[in-house]
Structure 1
Amino acid sequence: MDVYVHSAGTVLPGAPVDIPALARRFGLPRIWEQWVDTFIGTPLRHYSVDLDSGEVRFSLADLAVTAAQRALTAAGITAAEVDLVVMGTSSPDMLMPATVNVVADRLGIDGVPGYQLQSGCAGAVQALDVARHMLGSGSFRTALVIGADSCAKHFDLTLDVSALPPEEQVNGVLFGDGAGAAVLSTEPSAEPVALRWTQVRCVGRNRPPGQTLDWFGAADRHLDRPAAVEDYQAVRDSVPPLAVATLDEVLKELDWERDELDYILPPQLSGRMTAEIHARLDLPDAREVSCIRETGNTGNALPFFQLERLLPRMIAGDRAVGVAIESSKWIKAGFALERVER
């Protein structure tokens, strides 16, 4: 059974925060700004926390509800018509209740299956994959798929950031907060975009994590270990070839040729790395759909920001492939879209 993407909706909290603003807030030198520009290349990000007061202005559920409402409105679908909800996130508001259930409750969705996938940057594609397979079974008609992340809970505004090692500093400039959602259905819309393929592959065997995001309980919350660590060099070395391999696998599965691809949605890890990955993908005829320089790395929300930009552009016959790579324990994920005639 065919599955169609009807719409996408997104949200970013607050005003954009640039690198000079971060440097001023944490007393970092000009050379730090230059380092970020040279090696990261992500000028803007948005935070759910106010950097001056430390007040958390938006929960993850707040962001997810807004993105979901926008996706539902764009699709012309009410919450009562949703019969499946799947959410991917690496930063739920709580371990329990699952944020997806809080979001469903606030949207007025009840009596339907709800799933929350705990994952990093591949979580959005994992959520799309679960929804596609469940819709394809014929048991469901309409799915709301959500991807959202917030680093607000990990912001310690009392830290001397200049004293932190680079593997801890990098997370503060790579990531921002945001949420995205998409409506999927077995019924085509007026301008149908078919979700032709989704795949998720764990490739972390014997490979150390490239990123860790710790959780602290009551017994260990005061232990002297960092909450978030990023091996950025390992990410730079591994993500581009994994992205190329994922693209090749998706194209092979669908028997699509590289020159038949109209759009590519590359991984959005950082501004600099996205440019490197896009060059490695070697798709001169495919138009790139990227948002990282305006949004920052919003984790599981990012593919929905790309989808929101892509869907209005597609005309009959257009084909697109999206790629997401997760460096925590190395997951490669991809999806394919095709604009079809009704």
Structure 2
Amino acid sequence: MLVQELKQESRVKVAPRIIGFGECLPGKPVTNEQMEDVLSIRKEWIDTMIGNHSRHFAVDFSKRTVEYSLTDLCTVAAEEAIEQAGIQRKEIDVIVLSTATPDHLMPATVNLVADRLGLQNIQTYQIQAGCSGALQALDVARHLLVGERRYALVIGGDVCNKYMDLTRDFTKLRSSELINYALFGDGAGAILLTNENCDGLEITSIENRFVGVGEEPGQVMNWFGTVPENVQELSKRELRKQFQSAKEDYKAIEKQVPLMTAQVLKTLLEDRNWKKEDVTYFLPPQLGWNMTKKIIESLDLSLDVTINCVQETGNNGNALPFLQLKKLHGRLKPSNKVVGVAIESSKWIKTGIILEYKNGETNE
């Protein structure tokens, strides 16, 4: 009993730090050439409009089948993060999962993942969100690491394409619909967060602001991608028109996202009294690569200091910030500073994060 008390007293608590990273990208990367072969989306059009080279799908478009669930992807990503952190699953105190595309309305996907991981009696939380969700989940998790709680598993993922109607003739789709298949990808990312004093990427602050009062949504997603065959043809057409599975106002997104990114970055830097030159790495919003590159250029940043992955992974929503963070693993040195921004266009949400790499022995 005395030994246990001494161990508790010697434990130094710090601001939450990321100590494990995981990701899961389903199947093999689907190239632009394959998109042209399977979905009749011209490679030149993808290069010009989006700029992504590949993406990962949880569905097989040639077979018209769903191959992976969100639970599948999140579980694999979580297992990698736990293993990399070097802790036992039973040590995890809480799971927070963010997604725009849960496997079901109920049960929550976070509980299906907890079941797969064998984590009985664990606290679970699920956030329904788009691109802002990953940072929202981190914000929730860091505030839950109080008292005896030591480890939080935070997961973000999306499987957008399972809501697309796989029975449709893709050659007849409008460009406004086709662009979704070329822009979005599926995937999951995870991190292991702790308040123990150890080497890790410490969360200094998180910005999360809804700014969409009176604004039309920039993106809408529905559950109605597939219309039952027993619905009359006229009704089916009307349903597809009214409940298109995914649609975007690209002009609004192109106008608003760079401006909102600059605003968040300014707020984050002023909060720490930093200049851009003080930051080691930036995590910019990841849309399509062409737009992401324009944002980087508008911020007067070099590609050398930005962490980008959307060219290869596609825009996989809640997973992307975690994939960016995972790319930092192995690069960071003590006192390195990281600033990230994620913008959600669905109803206009600005999120940002400041992180600093700390050495556990010196706490610097």
Judge conservation of contact 2:16–2:193 (CA < 8 Å) in 1. yes
Deviates more, 1:64-73 or 1:205-214: 205-214
Q: Counterpart of 1:215?
A: 223
Q: Provide the rounded CA distance (Å) in 1 between the counterparts of 2:257 and 2:77.
A: 28
Q: 1:48 & 1:278 partners in 2: Cα distance?
A: 29
Once the two structures are superposed, residues 48-70 of structure 1 have per-residue CA deviations (whole angstroms, 9 ceiling, x without a partner) of 11122122111100000000000
1:79 aligns with 2:89: yes
Shift of 1:15: 0.7
- Aligned with residue 41 of structure 1, among 44, 47, 51: 51
How far, CA to CA, are the matches of 1:197 and 1:46 in structure 2?
31
Q: Where does residue 321 of structure 1 map in the other structure? A: 339
Per-residue deviation at 1:108?
1.2
AA of the residue aligned to 2:211: V
CA contact (8 A) 2:110 2:125 kept: yes
Is the alpha carbon distance of 1:217 and 1:273 closer, same or farther for their aligned partners in structure 2, counting shifts above 3 Å?
closer
Pick one of 174, 190, 200 that aligns with 1:192.
200
Partner of 1:148: 157
Shift of 1:35: 2.2
Are positions 1:175 and 2:188 aligned together?
no
- The separation in 1 between residues aligned to 2:118 and 2:167, in whole angstroms, is 39
1:291-339 CA-partner distances (Å, limit 9, x unpaired): 1111111110011111111131110110001111111111111111101
Contact 1:170 1:230 in 2 (8 A): no
Q: Aligned ranges for residues 233-252 of structure 1 at < 5 Å?
A: 233-252=251-270
**Pair 108,76 (structure 1): closer, same or farther in 2 beyond 3 Å:** same
Inter-partner Cα distance in structure 1 for 2:159 and 2:273: 38
Change (3 A) 1:54 1:334: same
Distance in 1 (CA, whole Å) between partners of 2:303 and 2:322 is 23
Distance between the aligned counterparts of 1:74 and 1:36, measured in 2? 36
2:297 matched residue in structure 1: 279
Distance 2:171 2:54 in 1: 20
Task: Provide the C-alpha distance between the structure 1 equivalents of 2:169 and 2:115, rounded to a whole number of angstroms.
Answer: 40
1:102 is aligned, of 112, 134, 147, to 112
CA shift for structure 1 position 219: 11
SS at match of 1:73: helix
TM-score where L is the length of structure 2: 0.88
Distance in structure 2 (CA, Å) of the matches to 1:53 and 1:165: 22
Distance 1:218 1:280 in 2: 39
Q: State the alpha-carbon separation in 2 of the partners of residues 174 and 219 from structure 1.
A: 23
* Alignment match of 1:123 (pick from 133, 151, 155): 133
C-alpha spacing 1:218/1:298, structure 2 compared with 1 (3 Å): closer
- Kindly indicate whether residue 28 of structure 2 is the aligned counterpart of residue 18 of structure 1: no
Give 2:7's aligned residue. Answer: none
The amino acid that maps onto 2:84 is: A
In the TM superposition, what whole-angstrom CA distance separates every residue of 1:227-271 from its partner, at most 9, and x where no partner exists? Answer: 111112211111111111111111122222221100001111111
Secondary structure at the counterpart of residue 59 of structure 2? coil
Secondary structure of the structure 1 residue equivalent to 2:130: coil
Which amino acid is the alignment partner of residue 215 of structure 1?
W
* Pairing 1:302–2:311 present: no
Of 174-183 and 155-164, more deviation after overlay is shown by 155-164
Percent sequence identity over aligned pairs: 45
Aligned partner of 1:8 in structure 2 is 21
Asked if the contact 1:39/1:272 (under 8 Å) is kept, the reply is yes
Check the 8 A contact 2:54/2:312 in 1, yes or no: yes
Shift of 1:218: 11
Is 1:203 aligned to residue 189 of structure 2? no
155-164 or 116-125, larger mean C-alpha shift = 155-164
Shift of 1:187: 0.5
Give the aligned partner of residue 164 of structure 1.
173
What residue number does 1:270 align with? 288
Residue 47 of structure 1: SS of its match in structure 2?
A: coil
In structure 2, what is the Cα distance between the partners aligned to 1:36 and 1:283? 25
SS at the partner of 1:87? strand
CA RMSD of aligned residues (A): 2.0
Choose 1 or 2 for highest CA Rg: 2
Aligned to 2:330, the other structure's residue is in SS state helix
1:83·1:141 contact (CA, 8 Å) conserved in 2? yes
Q: 1:168, 1:230 within 8 Å by CA — same for their partners in 2?
A: no
| Gap regions ≥5 residues in structure 1 | none
